[in-house]
Structure 1
Amino acid sequence: MAFQTLPQGDPKGDRPWWLVAFVVLAVALGLVIFFSDLYAQVFNTVVKGLGVTVFVTLIGFLLATALGLLIALLGMSDHLVLRQTARFYVEVVRGIPILVLLFYIAFVGAPAFVALFNLIASPLIHAGFFEPMVVRDVSLMWRAIIALMIGYSAFIAEIFRAGIQSIDKGQIEAAKALGLSRSQRFRLVVFPQAIRVIFPPLSNDFVAMVKDSSLVSVLGVADITQMGKVYASGSFRFFETYSIVAYVYLVLTIGLSILLRNFERRMRQRGARRDD
């Protein structure tokens, strides 16, 4: 008996009725926003933070991906010290909640960075080339981005490590026999195959960062959540405000999940055609 391969996310082959229900709910709430002056006012206030949310998520994720790849490569190095350093970084960072890391980077890391910078640049400062840096020169937005980068890089490093180690060693040995250097083996043989394994969990982390970017509101960064918080505290319209905030995040995350899943499916199909 032949078993049909089921699409990802539908383990029993169910039709995506949940998506139909969500679309109906999203359209209904969209109509409420369009016809209600109160909800329209809340929505217009909240979406002012959309650009900040998108910027923090994109920059934070790109930096976290680059750092995570570096940590993963260090963790597979031939040198014991590099491997243990990478392992130490991953285990420590994964054990710290993102919110705690956010506070630490914002209120401990930033002042320490400013003090170190002023110490190194003290000859130039005394010579009058520029003024000493103060903590407020480091924007809260960038403190939040750095915290998200560090927090997510540890998880992304494990994703890269698992994906790279999933490649059959025989292919790497064959690439060695062809005279390819280590960087060429990684770039031409290992990574193009590993990306099929890496992409699904990596895309999940991207969607998760969209949600976790709301934590930057605790620093007063004017993202979606912060704009909603400010409006609700001034109008006492908590139900309407946070309903709109949840609505905007749901549209963002579910829309991104669908787009990334479709991209993953096309990438998997292209890979299967190449393998054939």
Structure 2
Amino acid sequence: MNFDWTYFWESLLLPSPRFLSGLALTVIISVVSMALALVLGLLVALMGRSRFLPLRLLSAFYVWIIRGTPLLVQLVIIYTGLAAAGLFRFEDVDLVGALIRGAVQAAIVGLMLNESAYISEIVRSGLESVDRGQNEAALSLGMTPTASMRKIIVPQAIRIMVPPLGNSFNGLMKSTSILSVIGVAEMFQVGSTMSSATFKVFEVYLVVAIYYLALTTVWTFIQTGIENALNTRAGLPRAESVWKRLFGLRSRRQRAVTAPAPVLQTTDAA
């Protein structure tokens, strides 16, 4: 195999400004999309818990449509399909001196809509995991349903929702690699352009994979810190260590605690 180690190490340790720009765009799109998806997902989850049937049906229909269709198809419909049908076209926007291209806007909207459907289910299950008696007790003390949700239910549910929400963000960052289909110059598309220009296909995509791995690893550290902070506030044990999450490594003491107890077998006397 003719692997160009010099080009590989230069691309990995001294990435070009264009590659760094694609890396930054990947992170920005991921963070903005996730923030918006959290807001929309919470709204959809609350609609699903509403006493009004039309809101519950609308929430269920939204989740059904979004979760039942591929993200790639959704992106193409949002960016290309709407423009072809004459319904809406994403135009470049100048926001505080920064030019936000239409493809980037469509990417954020597509990722937001897709992720919000999954987040709504995470939020719904998290809220339902809190004992309903606590809400009834808060209402009996004179709290409004909104105050009970904000002060009693949500603080307890957040600790339960953080791990799956963190995993969702991890997946969202990796999903940005398909944004190249609508012309977003994120990290994967920049890598594709580099491989076409240099014919260093394996070297370039290996570098891209390592940078994606670095992003998800950094987020694992952040997520673990958030979980530990919430557990400390609730007086609970710390979350699993980062090393255990990344590699499944556990100490002998942990293995001893989690190992199943031996089963004693007895035989009847003859």
Partner of 1:19: none
CA contact (8 A) 2:11 2:207 kept: no
* Runs ≥4 residues deviating over 6 A: 32-35
Measured after TM superposition, the shift of residue 258 of structure 1 is 2.3
Match of 1:175 among 118, 134, 138: 138
Measured after TM superposition, the shift of residue 50 of structure 1 is 1.3
Partner of 1:84: 57
**Separation of aligned partners in 2, 1:37 and 1:196:** 42
**Separation of aligned partners in 2, 1:193 and 1:156:** 17
Measured after TM superposition, the shift of residue 259 of structure 1 is 2.0
Partner of 2:80: 107
Partner of 1:185: 148
CA contact (8 A) 1:111 1:135 kept: no
Match of 1:52 among 21, 25, 34: 25
Partner of 1:130: none
Partner of 2:212: 249
**Separation of aligned partners in 2, 1:46 and 1:195:** 36
Whether 2:47 is the aligned partner of 1:74: answer yes
CA contact (8 A) 1:64 1:156 kept: yes
Structure with the largest fraction of helix:
1
1:232-257 deviation per Cα after TM superposition (whole angstroms, max 9, x unaligned): 11111101100110010000001211
Segment of structure 1 superposing worse, 38-47 or 233-242? 38-47
**Separation of aligned partners in 2, 1:94 and 1:35:** 38
CA contact (8 A) 2:47 2:56 kept: yes
Indicate the RMSD between aligned Cα atoms, in angstroms: 2.2
- CA 1:174–1:135: 2 relative to 1, 3 Å: closer
Count of residues in correspondence between the two structures: 224
Q: Any idea what SS the aligned residue of 2:142 has?
A: coil
Q: What runs of 5+ residues in structure 1 fail to find an aligned partner?
A: 1-31, 117-133
The one-letter code matched in structure 2 to 1:199 is V
* 1:139-154 paired onto structure 2 within 5 Å: 139-154=102-117
1:42-93 deviation per Cα after TM superposition (whole angstroms, max 9, x unaligned): 5654222111101110111111110000000000000011111101111111
1:103-141 deviation per Cα after TM superposition (whole angstroms, max 9, x unaligned): 1111123555x646xxxxxxxxxxxxxxxxx65447010
Q: Any idea what SS the aligned residue of 2:235 has?
A: helix
Partner of 1:231: 194
The one-letter code matched in structure 2 to 1:222 is A
Q: TM-score, normalised by structure 1?
A: 0.75
Determine what percentage of the aligned residue pairs are the same residue: 38
Q: Any idea what SS the aligned residue of 1:232 has?
A: helix
Measured after TM superposition, the shift of residue 40 of structure 1 is 4.9
The one-letter code matched in structure 2 to 1:207 is N
1:171-202 deviation per Cα after TM superposition (whole angstroms, max 9, x unaligned): 10111011111111111111000001111100
Q: What runs of 5+ residues in structure 2 fail to find an aligned partner?
A: 93-100, 237-270
CA contact (8 A) 2:33 2:111 kept: yes
CA contact (8 A) 1:75 1:83 kept: yes
- CA 1:41–1:231: 2 relative to 1, 3 Å: farther
Partner of 2:118: 155
**Separation of aligned partners in 2, 1:103 and 1:254:** 30
Which one scores higher on RCO, CA 8 angstroms, separation ≥ 6? 1
Q: TM-score, normalised by structure 2?
A: 0.77
CA contact (8 A) 1:74 1:82 kept: yes
The one-letter code matched in structure 2 to 1:93 is I
Partner of 2:174: 211
CA contact (8 A) 2:130 2:153 kept: yes
